[in-house]
């Protein structure tokens, strides 16, 4: 007989080992899916997870993709820790990109040291303001922040589409849905000649550090954690719940906005329809896989970035659609959540004979 | 004048047809939520239903099998969700999100060989009546069997929840799983059934898109309808008949937006396309403002993890 018991305390070792278990199970299931679709499983996995990072260019691409994921996930961890379900980071990223891109276009024929900081600031503020919409509606009208933040994703993407097709489209661009190229001073510096890795990575790393300090070393971080664990306790302790909601949404919106400007001033260099391959949604998985812990998120963003790269390589070599990456992303989250069961419960195998009352 | 009235009839018929996938998915989710489970995987289950229905139609050339298969595939996907949230006690929100991401990816993977294949004409009922009767003809006749099913379903669901014993059990489980369990109700079984039913309905809603509404397979073709269906359940304050009203309003916005574009009204296309999403937010604000009203109808245990010490 099998008996399931609630654990009295969870062990720290299992807490950080379960993500590894989840990744392992994802790989096994991925192999099975590839096999069912008629590919050689090991070869497919190799194309997916090893080929993309077997050279310097690949490693740089990994960091290029991990940068926005890490930034957004850091922001989301503030929301999720305090039980606020912001799942519209993709929209906040897009809106941040729009506002930052607008500033970049204002300065399209200007050069100057002040241009880039202005754009970055504008992007962060744009994302922040966009994230305040679901927060304010939640605070004053009690609306569901999941649905509002998600609907705003579609709104922001359509707005971007309107801008790059209409008023902001490049006058010399033969009606392509894209804006002018940004000026040289509007671009994040490239770190190594010939690679795409850019200075945005420092913004991401700084946000990791800042998040770690806020979450673990300040009273604010303590308040966020307590509100997540028990709203009643937080109220009893006199924490200002409404301010907290607004604050965590602002933080995560600003992070997503930063990720948005990081993309347009980094690898892209202009605005067009596809400024993000759904980084905002994938970052939700990164946040969970990293256990809402800043350091964990750094590792998780690298792993999840690999699924993006892998999907691109597999698209070329195996002719599978680029959405395949999402299958892996979804599975990682499934297995991670499932293996959490081991955290809170223990399975006891009882011999048949012993099972007597 | 006669022609105008007929056009109006066709317009209303089109609005009703475009609301069918929303009705099906929202009513499936409504039952799931009434049992206390919040499944955010609607979009994922719909898109899987859409591709499996279309793929089965192409492979077997049998529309009946395609419809059944789409429901089964939605059900299968919801089983993953059920197993995780009910047996392994995972967080409903995160699991549902994973289901959507997974479903969209898997549908594209399965669907890569089905892009660009033309669909098949789905048999329509009472086609001669549609032409014979002005105005009412195009509204009520010449639709598929799924259409009629979808418009009867709200009444059936309402009856089920209010008048049948099983409906009462579902509501009891959603409002207080602990007392329901103490009454000897198998909470887990009830919730599993409701989750699977929701999955099947979402699968059917997706298949309606790929087999009947726009008979072909396009990557990501549900285009956020699953999320609108979720919003509709809140909009309707968990009442099946209001789901019907809400779905028609949203179908109406979608169709009107298309017609306004066709008529060359000088509003950018993108603003019109954004209307359904903005409307959802506005409606959510109006509905949610009165927190007492929302609380009265919300299944009390919605989204909470239920664990009974055995």
For residue A350, name the pLDDT band (cuts at 50, 70, 90): low
Residue A355 pLDDT: 45
Residue A349 pLDDT: 63
CA-derived radius of gyration, chain A: 22
- pLDDT(A104) > 90: yes
Rounded average pLDDT over A283-291: 92
Q: How far is CA B110 from the centre of its chain?
A: 22
Instruction: Mark which residues 295-314 of A lie under 8 Å from B by CB.
Output: none
The residue in chain A having the minimum alpha-carbon distance to the alpha carbon of residue B40 is: A146
* A145 contact residues in B (CB cutoff 8 A): none
**How far is it, in rounded angstroms, from Cα B243 to Cα B182?**
32
Of A277-286, A288-297, B301-310, give the lowest mean pLDDT range: B301-310
| DSSP classification of residue B119 | -
Mean pLDDT, chain B, whole residue set = 88
Domain boundaries of chain B, sorted by first residue: 2-297
* A162 contact residues in B (CB cutoff 8 A): 268-271
From the list B100, B252, B267, the residue with the least C-alpha distance to A278 is B100
- Selected for mutation to probe chain B from A76, A145, A154 (highest B CB count within 10 Å) is A154
B95 CB-side CA count, 13 A: 28
Tell me, yes or no, if A174 comes closer than 8 A to chain B by beta carbon: no
Rounded average pLDDT over B262-279: 80
Mean pLDDT, chain A, whole residue set = 89
Residue B74 pLDDT: 97
Instruction: Mark which residues 43-62 of A lie under 8 Å from B by CB.
Output: none
Rounded average pLDDT over B35-52: 95
Tell me, yes or no, if A331 comes closer than 8 A to chain B by beta carbon: yes
- Selected for mutation to probe chain A from B29, B86, B101, B295 (highest A CB count within 10 Å) is B101
From the list B277, B236, B278, B237, the residue with the least C-alpha distance to B23 is B236
From the list A228, A326, A304, A344, the residue with the least C-alpha distance to B102 is A326
Higher pLDDT, A9 or B60: B60
Tell me, yes or no, if A87 comes closer than 8 A to chain B by beta carbon: yes
- Contact flag B277-A155 (C-beta cutoff 8 Å): yes
Neighbours of B119 (CB within 10 A): 17
**How far is it, in rounded angstroms, from Cα A144 to Cα A165?**
32
Q: What was the ipTM of the complex prediction?
A: 0.86
From the list A300, A326, A306, A277, the residue with the least C-alpha distance to A52 is A306
* A164 contact residues in B (CB cutoff 8 A): none
CATH architecture of B2-297: Orthogonal Bundle (1.10)
The residue in chain A having the minimum alpha-carbon distance to the alpha carbon of residue B219 is: A323
From the list A315, A329, A245, the residue with the least C-alpha distance to A285 is A329
* A357 contact residues in B (CB cutoff 8 A): none
Rounded average pLDDT over A205-211: 95
Q: CA B28, B34, B37 angle in degrees (round to 5)?
A: 85
Smallest CA–CA distance, residue B162 to chain A, in Å, is 26
Residue B269 pLDDT: 78
Residue B1 pLDDT: 46
Of A333-347, B43-57, B217-231, give the lowest mean pLDDT range: A333-347
Would you identify the CATH topology of the domain A64-321? Answer: ABC transporter involved in vitamin B12 uptake, BtuC (1.10.3470)
Please name the member of B89, B98, B219 whose beta carbon is closest to the beta carbon of A334: B98
CA dihedral sign of residues A50, A55, A61, A65: positive
Helix (H) or strand (E) holding A264: none
Smallest CA–CA distance, residue B298 to chain A, in Å, is 12
Residue A317 pLDDT: 85
Smallest CA–CA distance, residue A205 to chain B, in Å, is 26
- Contact flag A137-B219 (C-beta cutoff 8 Å): no
* C-alpha separations of B9 from B4, B12, B124, B141, B250 in Å: 9, 5, 17, 11, 18
For residue A2, name the pLDDT band (cuts at 50, 70, 90): low
Domain boundaries of chain A, sorted by first residue: 64-321
Share of chain B above pLDDT 70, in %: 98
Smallest CA–CA distance, residue B165 to chain A, in Å, is 31
**How far is it, in rounded angstroms, from Cα B233 to Cα B4?**
35
pLDDT in tens, A255-276: 999 999 999 999 999 999 889 9
Rounded average pLDDT over B223-227: 88
**CB–CB of A168/A105 below 8 Å?**
yes
Rounded average pLDDT over B239-259: 88
| DSSP classification of residue A186 | G
Rounded average pLDDT over A232-253: 87
Neighbours of A23 (CB within 10 A): 18
Rounded average pLDDT over B257-286: 82
Rounded average pLDDT over A154-178: 90
Smallest CA–CA distance, residue A4 to chain B, in Å, is 8
pLDDT in tens, A298-346: 999 999 999 999 988 888 888 888 888 889 999 999 999 888 887 777 7
Rounded average pLDDT over B30-39: 95
**CB–CB of B81/B41 below 8 Å?**
yes
Neighbours of A24 (CB within 10 A): 12
pLDDT in tens, B131-175: 777 777 777 888 889 999 999 999 999 999 999 999 999 999 999
| DSSP classification of residue B309 | -
Q: For residue A173, give both structure tokens.
A: 């661009």
Residue B223 pLDDT: 84
Residue A1 pLDDT: 54
For residue A354, name the pLDDT band (cuts at 50, 70, 90): very low
Alpha helices in A82-144 (DSSP H): 89-106, 115-141
């Amino acid at each position: 007989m099998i008996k399931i018991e609630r654990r009295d305390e969870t062990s720290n070792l299992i807490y950080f080992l379960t993500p590894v278990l989840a990744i392992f199970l994802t790989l096994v299931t991925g192999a099975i899916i590839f096999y069912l679709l008629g590919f050689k499983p090991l070869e497919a996995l190799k194309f997916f997870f090893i080929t993309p990072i077997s050279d310097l260019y690949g490693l740089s691409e990994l960091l290029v993709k991990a940068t926005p994921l890490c930034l957004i996930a850091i922001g989301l961890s503030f929301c999720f820790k305090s039980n606020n379900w912001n799942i519209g980071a993709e929209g906040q990223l897009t809106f941040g990109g729009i506002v930052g891109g607008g500033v970049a276009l204002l300065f399209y024929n200007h050069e100057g040291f002040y241009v880039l900081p202005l754009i970055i600031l504008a992007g962060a503020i744009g994302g922040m303001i966009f994230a305040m919409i679901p927060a304010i509606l939640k605070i004053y009208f009690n609306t569901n922040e999941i649905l509002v933040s998600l609907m705003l994703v579609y709104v922001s993407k359509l707005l971007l589409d309107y801008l790059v097709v209409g008023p902001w489209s490049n006058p010399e661009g033969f009606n392509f849905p894209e804006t002018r190229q940004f000026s040289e001073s509007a671009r994040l510096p490239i770190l190594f000649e010939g690679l795409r890795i850019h200075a945005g990575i420092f913004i991401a790393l700084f946000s990791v550090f800042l998040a770690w300090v806020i979450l673990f070393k300040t009273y604010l971080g303590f308040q966020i954690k307590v509100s997540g664990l028990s709203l009643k306790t937080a109220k009893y302790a006199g924490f200002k719940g409404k301010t907290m909601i607004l604050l965590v949404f602002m933080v995560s919106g600003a992070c997503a906005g930063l990720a948005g400007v990081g993309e347009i001033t980094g690898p892209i260099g202009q605005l067009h329809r596809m400024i993000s391959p759904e980084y905002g949604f994938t970052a939700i998985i990164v946040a969970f896989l990293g256990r809402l812990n800043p350091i964990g998120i750094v590792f998780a963003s690298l792993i999840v970035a690999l699924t993006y790269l892998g999907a691109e390589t597999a698209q070329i070599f195996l002719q599978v659609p680029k959405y395949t990456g999402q299958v892996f992303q979804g599975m990682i989250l499934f297995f991670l959540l499932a293996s959490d069961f081991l955290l809170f419960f223990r399975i006891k195998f009882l011999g048949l004979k012993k099972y007597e009352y | 004048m006669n022609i105008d009235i007929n056009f109006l009839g066709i317009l209303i018929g089109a609005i009703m047809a475009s609301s069918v996938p929303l009705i099906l998915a929202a009513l499936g989710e409504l039952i799931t939520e009434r049992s206390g489970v919040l499944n955010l995987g609607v979009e994922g289950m719909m898109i899987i239903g859409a591709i499996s229905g279309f793929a089965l139609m192409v492979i077997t050339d049998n529309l009946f099998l395609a419809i059944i298969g789409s429901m089964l595939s939605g059900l299968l996907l919801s089983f993953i969700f059920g197993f995780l949230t009910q047996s392994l006690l995972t967080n409903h929100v995160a699991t549902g999100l994973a289901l959507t991401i997974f479903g969209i990816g898997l549908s594209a993977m399965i669907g890569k060989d089905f892009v660009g294949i033309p669909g098949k004409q789905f048999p329509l009922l009472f086609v001669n009546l549609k032409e014979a009767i002005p105005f009412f003809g195009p509204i009520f006749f010449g639709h598929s069997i799924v259409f009629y099913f979808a418009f009867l379903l709200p009444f059936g669901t309402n009856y089920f929840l209010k008048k049948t014993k099983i409906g009462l059990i579902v509501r009891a489980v959603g409002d207080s799983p602990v007392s329901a369990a103490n009454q000897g109700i198998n909470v887990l079984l009830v919730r599993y059934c409701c989750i699977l039913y929701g999955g099947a309905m979402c699968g059917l809603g997706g298949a309606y898109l790929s087999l009947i509404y726009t008979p072909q397979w396009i990557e990501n073709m549900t285009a956020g309808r699953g999320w609108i269906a979720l919003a509709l359940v809140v909009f309707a304050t968990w009442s099946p008949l209001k789901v019907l009203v809400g779905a028609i309003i949203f179908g109406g916005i979608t169709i009107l937006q298309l017609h306004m574009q066709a008529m060359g009204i000088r509003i950018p296309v993108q603003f019109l396309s954004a209307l359904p999403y903005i409307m959802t937010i506005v409606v959510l604000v109006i509905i949610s403002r009165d927190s007492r009203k929302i609380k009265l109808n919300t299944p009390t245990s919605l989204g909470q993890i239920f664990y009974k010490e055995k």
